[in-house]
Structure 1
Amino acid sequence: MSKKLLLLDVDCGVDDAQAIMMALAAPDVHVLGIMCTHGNANIENVCKNVLRVLKVCQRTEIPVYRGAGASILEEQLNGAQYHGKDGLGDVPDCNAPGLEHLQAEYAVNAITRIVTEHPGQVSLVATGPLTNIALAFKMDRTFPSKLKHLYIMGGNMESRGNVAICSEFNFAADPEAAYIVLNHFACPMYIATWEYCLRHVLPWEFFNEWVNQGTEKACFMKKITAHSEKFAKGKQGDREMYFGPGFVSCDSFAVAAAIDESVVTEYIRYGVSVELQGSVTRGMMIVDTLNALQKENQAFIMTKCDVEKLKQLMMSALK
C-alpha cells in the first residue's frame, strides 16, 4: 500500500515538535515538506526549531521552508509563556542546524507547487496560524481543490479561549487567515479544537513514562518540555483549571487524525467561520448549528478520541 503524503505547516513550539516527531515515526506516512509560520515563536526560531527536531529524528533530508513572519494584518502573538522564548523551552543546543539548511523557496510557493505536483494525494496538516495556507489560496484559487484533506489544530466550538476570552491561539494569531481558509476551502476539512484537546487531557503519569523511555528522542523531549510542564502544573491563575489535571499536546491531535483516521471516534459536521469584528470575540470560530450560512462544504469537527491509540502514536514517536 502506498504511503500517505503529508505536508506540515507549523509554528514550531513544544507541541508542534511532538506532532512532527509523531508524523516522522509513522511507518505508512511520507512527509513531503515542513512549512514554517509565525506563532509560538518568531519565524527565525520556528525555522531553527524544525531543523533541530529533524536532526534529532535523523530526518534532515525533509525540506524545510520559511513562511510568513506575521499575520495578514502584520500583527503578532507569541507563546513564550508556555513554550519559552525560543519556542522549545529555552534549552538551546550549540550544535543545532543553522538557517542555511532552509530551502530557498518560500513556503507559500512550495505548498502550491507540491500540491500541484500530487493533485488529490496530499493531506495538509496545519498546527499554527493559517497565514501560509490563506496566502497560498490567494496565489492559486485552485489550490484547495487539489488537496486530499486539510487537518487543522485551532479554533473552538464552545467559545472557550486560551489567549482571549473567546478565541484560541492559532486563530487569534491571524483571524483573517482563518476566515479565508474556513470559508474558501472545498476539500474535506477536519478540525481539532481547543476544547477537543482539553477533553482528552493525558495523565501526568503517562507523560513521565513517555519522556523517560531512555532514547535520544525521549531525552530531547524531556529537556524541551520542562518549561511547559512547570507552567502547566503551576497554580497561579488557576492553570490546572485552564489545562485540566494533566498533559495536553494540542498539535498531536491533528497529526494523529491525519496518520490514522480511527483515532477520532466521533465528529460533528457543521459549516464554520471566524468572527473578525467582535470586541471580545475576534478570532472565535463560529459553528453554524442552524445552517444559517448555507455552506456546502461543512467541516468535520472532532469531538471524541481513542486516547489509547493516541498514546501509542505518541510513544512510538520517541522510540
Structure 2
Amino acid sequence: MKKKLILDVDTGVDDAQAIMVALAAPNVEVLGITCCHGNTPLENVLKNTLRVLKVCNRLDIPVYRGCAEPMLARKRHAGDYHGKDGLGDVPDPDAPGLELLQQKKAVQAMIQIVKENPGEVTLVATAPLTNLAVAAQLDPSFPKKLKALYIMGGNTESRGNTTVCGEFNFVADPEAAYVVLDRYTCPTYIATWEFTCRNSLPWSFCEQWLAQKTEKAAFMKKISYLSMTKAQSAEYQKEIIAGKGFNSCDTYALAAAIDDKFITESEEVAVTVELEGTYTRGMMALDYMELLKKKHKAVIMKKVDLEKFKQMFMNSLK
C-alpha cells in the first residue's frame, strides 16, 4: 500500500525540494497539492508548484488555489531568501499556465480527499497553516479523519528567523498555527526551525547532489543558487544554530512523513502558540509542566537519519 499524502505548500526553494523528494519516493502517492500564501504571494506559489511538477513530468497531480492571506496577521513574505518570485528569480519562459489549476479551492479539496480516504491520508504542511485552520473551521471533523499531520514550523528555544522569537511559517499566520495545534488531534509531528538547523546537510554533499547530469538537477541548481549563496553568508550563518551546511527546512517534515524510521530521536509534549506578546507573537510554546491540561501531545523531532535524508535528496534529482 502506498502512503497517501496531501502536500500543503508555499512553494519556495525548500518546498520545491520537498515536492521533488515526495515524487521520487516509490512508496508515496501524492493525492493533491494545496497552495497557500507564504514565501511568496499566492500567484507565484501556484506558478512555482506547476513549474516543479513540470520538470518532474507530473503535471497530472492536481494543484489547488488556497488562502492568499493570513487569518488576522499582516501579510509577509520571504523574498530576500527565496527570491521575489519564490524560486530564486530565474526567468522561466516555458512555465506552465495557471489554467492547469483545479477549479475546486484548496480547503474544499482537502476536506473532500480526506472524506473519501478516511484514516488513510497524511497531510504534510510546509507553509503558514492558514489552509489547515480554515479546513478545521469549515469541517470540525476533518482533523480526526487524517492519518497524521507533519508540520515544518515553530521553534523550541525561542530562536527566531523572522522576528526575535518567531519562525517564519508560524509568524506569517500565528492565529492559524494556534488553531491547528489546538484542534488537530491526529498524530502530529513537528520539524522546528532549530531542529532543522542542527541537522543541516554538508555543503560538500550539496555539490555532489546538484552535479547529477539530469534536467531536474539543472533546474534545482538554478532555483537554489540565490538561497544557497545567502545561506553561506556570514550574516545568515549567525542566524542559524550550529549550522555548517544547507538547511532545506521543509524537506525534513516530508521525509519523516514518507519514512517511519527517519526520526531517530524525538520528544512528546503539548504545544501552543503565543498570540499576544510584543516580541513573542507567533512563537511556539512547549508545555513541559502540563499547565495547559492538553490531552494531545505533538512529537517534536530532535534527530534524524541524515544518510537516509541524503539518499532521498540524491534520488529526487535522478
Specify the TM-score bucket, using the shorter chain as the normaliser. over 0.9
Structure-2 residue corresponding to 1:292: 291
Paired letter, 2:239:
Y
- 1:69-218 aligned at under 5 Å gives the runs 69-73=68-72, 75-218=74-217
Q: Determine the C-alpha separation between the residues in 1 that align with 2:304 and 2:148.
A: 19
Q: Determine the C-alpha separation between the residues in 2 that align with 1:29 and 1:148.
A: 14
Deviation at 1:241, TM superposition (A): 2.2
Paired letter, 2:294:
K
Deviation at 1:84, TM superposition (A): 0.1
Structure-2 residue corresponding to 1:314: 313
Q: Determine the C-alpha separation between the residues in 1 that align with 2:91 and 2:101.
A: 19
SS at match of 2:239: helix
Q: Determine the C-alpha separation between the residues in 2 that align with 1:293 and 1:74.
A: 24
Q: Say which of 235, 239, 256 aligns to 2:236.
A: 239
Paired letter, 1:314:
F
Q: Determine the C-alpha separation between the residues in 2 that align with 1:54 and 1:221.
A: 12
Q: Which is further off, 302-311 or 67-76?
A: 67-76
SS at match of 1:123: strand
2:5–2:28 contact (8 Å) kept in structure 1: yes
Cα RMSD, aligned residues only: 0.7
Question: Is 1:14 matched up with 2:13?
Answer: yes
Paired letter, 1:239:
Y
Deviation at 1:164, TM superposition (A): 0.6
Q: Determine the C-alpha separation between the residues in 2 that align with 1:274 and 1:261.
A: 27
Q: Determine the C-alpha separation between the residues in 2 that align with 1:219 and 1:82.
A: 20
Structure-2 residue corresponding to 1:46: 45
Relative to the length of structure 1, the TM-score reads: 0.98
- 1:23-42 aligned at under 5 Å gives the runs 23-42=22-41
Paired letter, 1:230:
T
**Deviations for 1:230-278, whole angstroms, at most 9, x for unmatched residues?**
111122xx32122322100000000000000211101110000000000
Paired letter, 1:270:
V
Deviation at 1:67, TM superposition (A): 0.3
Q: Determine the C-alpha separation between the residues in 2 that align with 1:213 and 1:169.
A: 31
Q: How many residues align?
A: 316
Paired letter, 1:240:
Q
Q: Determine the C-alpha separation between the residues in 2 that align with 1:303 and 1:230.
A: 27
Deviation at 1:75, TM superposition (A): 2.0
Q: Determine the C-alpha separation between the residues in 2 that align with 1:214 and 1:160.
A: 38
Q: Determine the C-alpha separation between the residues in 1 that align with 2:277 and 2:295.
A: 25
Deviation at 1:74, TM superposition (A): 5.5
Paired letter, 2:119:
G
- Structure 2: 5+ residue stretches without partners: none
2:73–2:172 contact (8 Å) kept in structure 1: no
- Structure 1: 5+ residue stretches without partners: none
Q: Determine the C-alpha separation between the residues in 2 that align with 1:207 and 1:174.
A: 31
**Deviations for 1:55-98, whole angstroms, at most 9, x for unmatched residues?**
00000000000000000015211010000000000002101101
Q: Determine the C-alpha separation between the residues in 2 that align with 1:230 and 1:300.
A: 32
Paired letter, 2:181:
L
Q: Determine the C-alpha separation between the residues in 1 that align with 2:70 and 2:127.
A: 11
